[in-house]
Amino acid sequence: MPNFVRVASVTEIPPGQARAYIVGDREVAVFNVEGAYHAIENGCPHQGGPLAEGRLDGPIVTCPWHAWCFDVTDGKMTMGFTSVDAFDVQVEGSTISVSADPRT
Ligand code: FES
């Protein structure tokens, strides 16, 4: 049974933007892609850049440090050779919750 942790109200993450939150022992970036919320590990696997501060173009976020790109819906790097963990997101009313455990 997934352990969901409340992180935000929907008003805190406007469309096309993201915020980072601590969920359990992980730092997770939550993105709003045209009203759908997606969560991935915040730290870029290259050198730890904060993905929540990257530019979001549709479901693709560009790392603000050296421009590696990731699909926020599944955490996969667009060039394909690495990925970040992705986490399930629940929205109930105006509350966004994120699974404390990464999707497998
Ligand atoms: S730290 Fe993200 S591309 Fe280098």
Convert the pLDDT of each residue in 17-72 to its tens digit: 999 999 999 999 999 999 999 999 999 999 999 999 999 999 999 999 999 999 99
63 lines ligand 1 (CB under 6 A): yes
Q: For the segment 4-21, what is each residue's pLDDT rounded down to a tens digit?
A: 999 999 999 999 999 999
Report whether 70 contacts 104 (CB < 8 A): no
CA gap 93, 68 in Å, rounded:
34
Instruction: State which ligand 1 atom lies nearest to the alpha carbon of 49.
Output: 1
Whether pTM exceeds 0.85: yes
How many C-beta neighbours within 10 Å does residue 84 have? 24
pLDDT number for residue 27: 98
* Spatial separation of the C-alpha atoms in residues 104 and 100, rounded to whole Å: 12
Q: What is the Å distance from ligand 1's center to 93 Cα?
A: 35
Distance 50 CA to ligand 1 centre (A): 8
Tell me the CA distances in angstroms from 26 to 11, 80, 90, 100, 103, one per residue in order. 23, 23, 17, 8, 13
Q: CA-to-CA distance for 32 and 39, rounded, in angstroms? A: 9
